[in-house]
Amino acid sequence: MDRRKLYVSLLLAAAALLLISSVALAQAPSTSGGVAPHAQFYAGKLASSKKLSPLAMLWAMRVLAGLMLVGGIFTIGSRNPVVAALCLVGTLFCTGIIFLLLHATFIAAIQVLVYAGAIMVLFVFVVMSVGHPEREEIGLSRGIISKLIGGAFAVMLLLRVSPVYMSYQRTVNAAGEIISKAMPPVSSKYGNVEHVGKLLFSDYLFPFEAISILLLVAIVGAVMVTRHRRRDDNKGAAAAAASAGEG
Amino acid sequence: MLKTLSDLVPNVFLAMLLAAAAIMAFATVNALFLVWLERKVSARMQRRYGPTVVGPFGMFQTLVDVVKLLSKQLISPKDIDKPLYHLAPIVVFVPVVLGLSLFPIDKSFALVDTNVGLVLVFAFAGMGFIAIFMAGWGSNNKYALLGAMRAVAQNIAYEIPLILAALAVTMIARSMRIADIVEAQGSFPYILVQPIGALIYYISAVAETNRAPFDIPEAESELVAGFHTEYSGMRFALFFLAEYTNMVIVSMVATSLFLGGYKGPLLPGPVWFFGKVYFLIFVMLWLRWTFPRLRFDQLMTFAWKVLIPLALANLLVTATVLKVMS
Amino acid sequence: MSSAFKMADFSFAAPIIFVALWACVVLLASAFSTKSSKLGPLTAFGFVIGLVITGYFWTALEQPRMSVFSGMLVLDRFSLFLDMIFLLAGLLTSLVAHGYVEEHGFAESEFYAVIALSVVGMMLMGHAGDFIIVVIGLETMSLGVYSLVASWTDKRKSTEAGLKYFVMGAVASGFLVYGIALLYGATGSTRLLVITSRAAAHIGDPLYIIGLFMVFGALAFKVALVPFHMWTPDAYEGAPTPITGFMAAAVKTAGFGLLVRAVSTIFSGESFAYGSTGWINIAWMLSMLTMTVGNVLALRQTNIKRMLAYSSIAHAGYIMLGVIAIPVLGLDPSAVLLYLLQYAVTTIGAFGVVAWVGRRDAENTGLEQWAGLGARKPAAALAMTIFMLSLGGIPPTAGFFAKLYLFKSAMGHPSLLILVVIAAINSVISIFYYLKPIVAMYFRDAGGEPIAEPMRSSSLSVAITLAAIIVFLLGMVPGSALEMAIKSTIGG
């Protein structure tokens, strides 16, 4: 992939991101109670006229989805790990904005905070520790067969899934009226902190607790794999423990 | 009732433009003022006078400096990663601009008001480090890269106690909306309820802004200037601007969370708000010219072994007390 | 938000919670003790208590199906039976690992805690009533097993195996999550039963069908069906031997348990099962390919671990046959359960013997190194013989009976007859390579070669003896186990 083209598209993407995110921010519901359900978002019945029209929202959604796709492709396709990491940041940021458009403000903020912020910082840290892009090339393998299979699968997915997506799109006609009832109505408190919190500690209590086991095993496993102990240290286990404590 | 910009200006795009203009103007003026203030404060602490020649109390000195920076040649070193290098000063500014818009400066006004404002502020603050990474990596300079790596490591470490401290306040106020948190501090600010939380927050905030005594990412004696070593002229100025604006943001959060925001007797809200913000910034300057720089391992140890356990304990105690009281 | 959870729900999750807590106890013990000498038995003790608790739940369960935590967890005899297999596998593995780790001196003290934690993940998978729990359980299990595979940090092959397994497993997890997302997009729920009840409206819906097959593919990866088996030989060979046994036994059981659960819920509609895009046709092909490829490739192996790895692929094919038979014969998982139970015990036993004959600096996994073992160490050779016969399906071992029962129940339906015949032919082929170690041990002279000699470890011998006894009992008096498996129905 041509670097220049890549970076120009990145720049454009960044500009679009800034624009859209500020629109989305202005769109964010201001009170904790009166959040419009996303069924109404598709129906174009948002409470006040100053909000964007549903068609504009739909276009924002399309643009964001396109940006996410481009970002995703560059993330796996770029030979430069830095570009890959930054494209991933962009993709995750777009995801956050899509959440915002759907009035899931809390999830949006957490998405940006945790993924685009914290987790990507770790990615970036690893990239910086690993080395220089000219020497450390990553990216798609050149194998033509794997590309063909992957491409065929992608085309099949696109052909099979996109008609469904189109049918969802057709739920809003040019005048912005809702046509089908594909989107079920949701609670008026949809997506705010209180709503998410209540769900998390009632219906999703057990998964919420189970996640802690998952995190525990991830941490313990990572420690186990990365901590090195030389064989001759076996004689003095205390010495090994001491050095592990320091390191 | 809290009014936002979109309440006052019906057109979304117009509101956006206005907000952007207001924030940019504020950020610029604020940086000019803070640079002057920093010089004055440092001078006074070292028994000097600081700038005195241009304008009253040398106030226009920074303005003149800006003219100098503007007129400087923009030097791009060889073998840089051009797009990253050129984008970094711009990207460093984006989260700052977004973050500034979220604070209520008076009982009745905030540019943007959302029910997850507090989380968004932290989210945007976290994004700033992407730019530092871009600058450090793009410069193709070992000092820049080292500085960026240190900044990233520091960010990871200090973001945790920062958020944990803020979380305790959120639990007391039962909201993540900044306006609600300010309103919840009825007769007394939360610093009285959460003294340890406030302290943890402030220390971590200073570390997050990469300022002394936590300015290891740009330690002059070791790394020339850290991640912005290779930047000159206005590009350098943009990093500077972002850093000073960042100081304002963390102080605004501290003001809103712990000092009661715009609340105060007699004087109008904005005066109290900005008064508290600039007082906190003054303390930051004070710290910088008082304490020596920490060593990197000390910095890390302090975060992981002192601040994080302390913040967790603080959170736990807060939760227990809240549960018992309710 | 149909029904909020009650505090009583926690008591129904007691087996899972107990094992999780015990894992924490082991973890703390490993943090505070300087020697790791007692950790293996400590973990094993926890598994024994877990078995007792699960057994109690199995007998005391009154309804055929209980749904706790507002549908997140399912409690039925099927899942409790699976739990018992996991716990048994964990018990045997931690005992085997104890001797192995002492001998080779490689593992960190967290080793046993990670085993226990991944068992928790498997139990979550078995009890899952919601895709969220499926994902959490699968990831908990997988992350634990990845790190266990790579835990021998001094050995390059171990690290390589762990990395390979991790990368491939991450792709599989991606497929799983994507499939779940598509299913959610189609039906608007992640709850298995809700998806099932809404499935009728989605016949021919590409979202639903592609989602189904992505979930299926991810599970096929976990149980190593043939087009998704590439990682298996390398991961099995590189992993520390007790962990190889654990993977072959427990991870496979967890994957198949989930597959059976999926088959009885989201895959259950007639239109999804039969017809040109029905999963049964595809599963039929996969099953045939898996057993054939696994057996044929196993014939060529000279490394015992690699041979057993291919053998585990072949066994996945047999079990898949049983899974296909489940909807065809009206949701009776007893054949699969019995087969999984015997396979888990047998394979851990077999890998246990492989671990047993390895010495420090010499793992002795080549067939030629086993020459003459029968004369020198009859106990080890006898145990290996039992396990090999059981894997080959020769009476009077557990493998024979379970295979017989599996084939017999599958033959109840004419459409599966061809597959059963293929499986029977495969079984015959497989006996050839299962006899190879036996021949080497008894009928070949050691010559001047250094002979593998079993290490001294009481816990290892206890584990192998236990496994051998279970294999024998299941083969000789299978009645009570069979009855238990038949009672272990999938609720609702």
* Cis peptide, bond prior to residue A184, ω within 30 of zero: no
Q: In which order are the strands placed within the sheet that holds B104-106?
A: B3-4, B109-110, B104-106
State the average pLDDT over residues A147-176: 63
User: With left for phi above 0 and alpha for psi between -120 and 50, is residue B79 left, alpha or beta?
Assistant: left
State the amino acid at position C350 in one-letter form. Answer: A
In this prediction, residue B125 carries a pLDDT of 79
- In A, minimum Cα distance to C202 occurs at A164
Q: List, as ranges, residues 54-93 from B with C-beta within 8 Å of A.
A: 81-84, 87, 90-91
State the amino acid at position C157 in one-letter form. Answer: K
Kindly state whether residue C368 falls inside one of the protein's structural domains: yes
Instruction: Find where tokens 């795009």 sit.
Output: B13
In this prediction, residue B221 carries a pLDDT of 63
Distance from CA of A157 to the nearest CA of B (A): 33
Please list the residues that pair with C191 across neighbouring strands: C130
Residue C448's pLDDT band, with cuts at 50, 70 and 90, is low
- In A, minimum Cα distance to C151 occurs at A225
Other Cβ atoms less than 10 A from the Cβ of B308: the count is 18
State the amino acid at position B277 in one-letter form. Answer: V
Kindly state whether residue C1 falls inside one of the protein's structural domains: no
Residue scoring higher pLDDT (B77 or C462): C462
Instruction: Find where tokens 């029209």 sit.
Output: A53
Check which CATH number belongs to the domain holding A79 and give it. 1.20.120
Contact indicator for C116, C129 with CB cutoff of 8 Å: no
Kindly state whether residue C182 falls inside one of the protein's structural domains: yes
In this prediction, residue C456 carries a pLDDT of 72
State the average pLDDT over residues C173-197: 87
Residue by residue, DSSP assigns B117-136 as: HHHHHHHHHHHHHHHHHHHH
Judged against a pLDDT cut of 90, whether residue B11 lies above it is answered with no
- In C, minimum Cα distance to A225 occurs at C151
State the average pLDDT over residues C108-121: 88
- For residues B123 and B121, what is the distance between their CA atoms, to the nearest angstrom? 5
Judged against a pLDDT cut of 50, whether residue B167 lies above it is answered with yes
Contact indicator for C96, C464 with CB cutoff of 8 Å: yes
State both tokens at B6: 């979109």
Contact indicator for A73, A81 with CB cutoff of 8 Å: no
Judged against a pLDDT cut of 80, whether residue B201 lies above it is answered with yes
Judged against a pLDDT cut of 50, whether residue A33 lies above it is answered with no
Pairing of strands C73-75, B109-110: unpaired
Q: Write down the mean pLDDT value for chain C.
A: 86
Judged against a pLDDT cut of 80, whether residue C43 lies above it is answered with yes
Q: What is the pLDDT of residues C404-438, one digit of tens each?
A: 999 888 887 788 888 999 999 999 999 989 998 88
Tell me whether B104 touches chain A (CB under 8 Å). Answer: no
From the list C51, C46, C44, the residue with the least C-alpha distance to C93 is C44
Contact call for C153 and A227, based on CB within 8 A: yes
- Do A149 and A63 fall within a single domain? no
Contact call for A26 and B112, based on CB within 8 A: yes
Q: Which of A100-114, B120-134, B180-194, C247-261 reaches the highest mean pLDDT?
A: C247-261
- Do A185 and A100 fall within a single domain? yes
State the average pLDDT over residues A187-211: 80
State both tokens at C332: 């009776």
* Residues contacting residue C74 through CB under 8 Å, at least 6 positions apart: C65, C66, C67, C127, C128, C129, C261, C491
Contact call for C206 and A234, based on CB within 8 A: no
Neighbours of chain C (3+ CB pairs under 8 A): A
Q: What is the pLDDT of residues C297-345, one digit of tens each?
A: 998 888 888 999 999 999 999 999 999 888 877 778 888 999 999 999 9
* Least confidently predicted of B214-228, B257-271, C96-110: B214-228
Residue scoring higher pLDDT (C418 or A78): C418
In this prediction, residue C140 carries a pLDDT of 94
In this prediction, residue C107 carries a pLDDT of 65
Kindly state whether residue C108 falls inside one of the protein's structural domains: yes
Domain that holds residue C361: 11-487
What total of structural domains would you count in chain C? 1
Contact indicator for A26, A103 with CB cutoff of 8 Å: no
Domain that holds residue A158: 143-167
Residue scoring higher pLDDT (C269 or C48): C48
In this prediction, residue A246 carries a pLDDT of 38
Which candidate in C21, C28, C37, C132 is best for mutational testing of the A interface (most A CBs within 10 A)?
Answer: C132
Q: List, as ranges, residues 227-286 from B with C-beta within 8 Å of A.
A: none
Residue C16's pLDDT band, with cuts at 50, 70 and 90, is very high
Q: What is the pLDDT of residues C376-414, one digit of tens each?
A: 788 888 999 999 999 998 888 888 989 999 988 888 778
- For residues C225 and C219, what is the distance between their CA atoms, to the nearest angstrom? 9
Residue scoring higher pLDDT (C84 or A166): C84
Distance from CA of A81 to the nearest CA of B (A): 11
Per DSSP, helices labelled H in C300-416 are 304-328, 334-357, 373-376, 378-392, 398-410
* Residues contacting residue B53 through CB under 8 Å, at least 6 positions apart: B61
CA angle in degrees (0–180, nearest 5) for C28-C125-C480 = 95
In this prediction, residue A186 carries a pLDDT of 54
In this prediction, residue C357 carries a pLDDT of 83
In this prediction, residue A45 carries a pLDDT of 33
State both tokens at B292: 């020596």
* Cis peptide, bond prior to residue C41, ω within 30 of zero: no
In this prediction, residue A18 carries a pLDDT of 53
Residue by residue, DSSP assigns C100-168 as: HHHHH----TTHHHHHHHHHHHHHHHHHBSBHHHHHHHHHHHHHHHHHHHTT-TT-HHHHHHHHHHHHH
State the average pLDDT over residues C164-172: 90
* Least confidently predicted of A120-134, C50-64, C148-162: A120-134
Contact indicator for C57, C15 with CB cutoff of 8 Å: yes
Judged against a pLDDT cut of 80, whether residue A190 lies above it is answered with no
Kindly state whether residue C6 falls inside one of the protein's structural domains: no
Tell me whether B139 touches chain A (CB under 8 Å). Answer: no
In this prediction, residue C254 carries a pLDDT of 93
Backbone angles phi, psi at C341, to 5 degrees: -60, -50
Q: Is C66 helix (H, G, I), strand (E, B) or coil?
A: strand
Compute the 3-state secondary structure of chain C and give helix, strand, coil in percent, each to the nearest 5: 75, 5, 20
State the average pLDDT over residues A176-196: 58
- Do A81 and A162 fall within a single domain? no
In this prediction, residue C341 carries a pLDDT of 92
What total of structural domains would you count in chain A? 2
Contact call for B152 and A125, based on CB within 8 A: yes
From the list A188, A195, A192, A186, the residue with the least C-alpha distance to A39 is A186
Judged against a pLDDT cut of 80, whether residue B5 lies above it is answered with no
Residue A36's pLDDT band, with cuts at 50, 70 and 90, is very low
Q: Is C89 helix (H, G, I), strand (E, B) or coil?
A: helix
Residue A173's pLDDT band, with cuts at 50, 70 and 90, is very low
Residue by residue, DSSP assigns A91-137 as: HHHHHHHHHHHTT-HHHHHHIIIIIIIIIHHHHHHHHHHH--TTTS-
- Do A95 and A24 fall within a single domain? yes
- For residues C156 and C154, what is the distance between their CA atoms, to the nearest angstrom? 6
In this prediction, residue C35 carries a pLDDT of 62
Backbone angles phi, psi at C359, to 5 degrees: -115, 165
State the amino acid at position B285 in one-letter form. Answer: L
Instruction: Find where tokens 């481009």 sit.
Output: A70
Judged against a pLDDT cut of 60, whether residue A52 lies above it is answered with no
Residue B284's pLDDT band, with cuts at 50, 70 and 90, is confident
In this prediction, residue A161 carries a pLDDT of 67
Backbone angles phi, psi at C66, to 5 degrees: -120, 140
Judged against a pLDDT cut of 70, whether residue A185 lies above it is answered with no
- For residues B250 and B276, what is the distance between their CA atoms, to the nearest angstrom? 12
- Do A112 and A135 fall within a single domain? yes
Judged against a pLDDT cut of 50, whether residue A235 lies above it is answered with no
In this prediction, residue B193 carries a pLDDT of 82
In this prediction, residue B18 carries a pLDDT of 81
Residue scoring higher pLDDT (A218 or A155): A218
Domain boundary among A167, A202, A220: A167
Contact call for C137 and A210, based on CB within 8 A: yes
- Do A74 and A162 fall within a single domain? no
State the average pLDDT over residues B113-140: 79
Which candidate in C140, C165, C194 is best for mutational testing of the A interface (most A CBs within 10 A)?
Answer: C140
Residue C281, classified by CB atoms within 10 Å of its CB into exposed (0-12), middle (13-18) or buried (19+), is middle
- Do A148 and A184 fall within a single domain? no
Residue A41, classified by CB atoms within 10 Å of its CB into exposed (0-12), middle (13-18) or buried (19+), is buried
- For residues C86 and B289, what is the distance between their CA atoms, to the nearest angstrom? 62
Distance from CA of A111 to the nearest CA of B (A): 8
- Do A63 and A149 fall within a single domain? no
Residue A35's pLDDT band, with cuts at 50, 70 and 90, is very low
- Do A77 and A161 fall within a single domain? no
State the average pLDDT over residues B56-70: 79
Contact indicator for C424, C400 with CB cutoff of 8 Å: no
Kindly state whether residue C492 falls inside one of the protein's structural domains: no
In this prediction, residue C300 carries a pLDDT of 87
Q: What is the pLDDT of residues C63-100, one digit of tens each?
A: 888 888 888 888 888 999 999 999 999 999 999 988 88
**How many helices (H) does chain B have, and how many strands (E)?**
14, 3
Judged against a pLDDT cut of 70, whether residue A139 lies above it is answered with no
Selecting from C34, C106, C159 the residue whose C-beta is nearest the C-beta of A241 gives: C34
Kindly state whether residue C3 falls inside one of the protein's structural domains: no
Q: Write down the mean pLDDT value for chain B.
A: 80
Please list the residues that pair with C303 across neighbouring strands: C366
Judged against a pLDDT cut of 70, whether residue C451 lies above it is answered with no
State the average pLDDT over residues B4-30: 77
C293-316 burial, b at 16+ Cβ within 10 Å, e below that, comes to bbbebbeebeebbbbbbbbbbbbb
ipTM given for this complex: 0.89
Q: What is the pLDDT of residues B93-125, one digit of tens each?
A: 777 777 887 787 777 777 777 777 888 888 887
Contact indicator for C399, C346 with CB cutoff of 8 Å: yes
Pairing of strands B109-110, B3-4: parallel
State both tokens at C413: 């339906």
- Do A15 and A117 fall within a single domain? yes
State the average pLDDT over residues B45-57: 80
Kindly state whether residue C402 falls inside one of the protein's structural domains: yes
Residue scoring higher pLDDT (B199 or A60): B199
Residue A7, classified by CB atoms within 10 Å of its CB into exposed (0-12), middle (13-18) or buried (19+), is middle
In this prediction, residue B20 carries a pLDDT of 79
Kindly state whether residue A35 falls inside one of the protein's structural domains: yes
Q: What is the pLDDT of residues C205-260, one digit of tens each?
A: 777 888 888 899 999 998 888 888 888 888 898 888 899 999 999 999 999 999 99
* Residues contacting residue C12 through CB under 8 Å, at least 6 positions apart: C66, C68, C73, C75
Q: What is the pLDDT of residues B308-318, one digit of tens each?
A: 889 888 888 88
Q: Is B76 helix (H, G, I), strand (E, B) or coil?
A: coil
- Do A136 and A153 fall within a single domain? no
In this prediction, residue C20 carries a pLDDT of 92
- For residues C152 and C148, what is the distance between their CA atoms, to the nearest angstrom? 8
- In A, minimum Cα distance to C163 occurs at A225
- For residues C415 and C421, what is the distance between their CA atoms, to the nearest angstrom? 11
* Residues contacting residue A140 through CB under 8 Å, at least 6 positions apart: A76, A77, A147
Give the CA-trace dihedral at C46, C47, C50, C56, to 10 degrees.
-130
Residue scoring higher pLDDT (C171 or B136): C171
Judged against a pLDDT cut of 60, whether residue B159 lies above it is answered with yes
C157-177 burial, b at 16+ Cβ within 10 Å, e below that, comes to ebbbbbbbbbebbeebbebbb
Contact indicator for C417, C367 with CB cutoff of 8 Å: no
Q: Is C256 helix (H, G, I), strand (E, B) or coil?
A: helix
Other Cβ atoms less than 10 A from the Cβ of A231: the count is 12
- For residues B183 and B173, what is the distance between their CA atoms, to the nearest angstrom? 9
Partners of B122 on chain A (C-beta within 8 Å) are: 113, 117
CB pairs under 8 A between A and B: 131
In this prediction, residue A32 carries a pLDDT of 33
- Do A46 and A99 fall within a single domain? yes
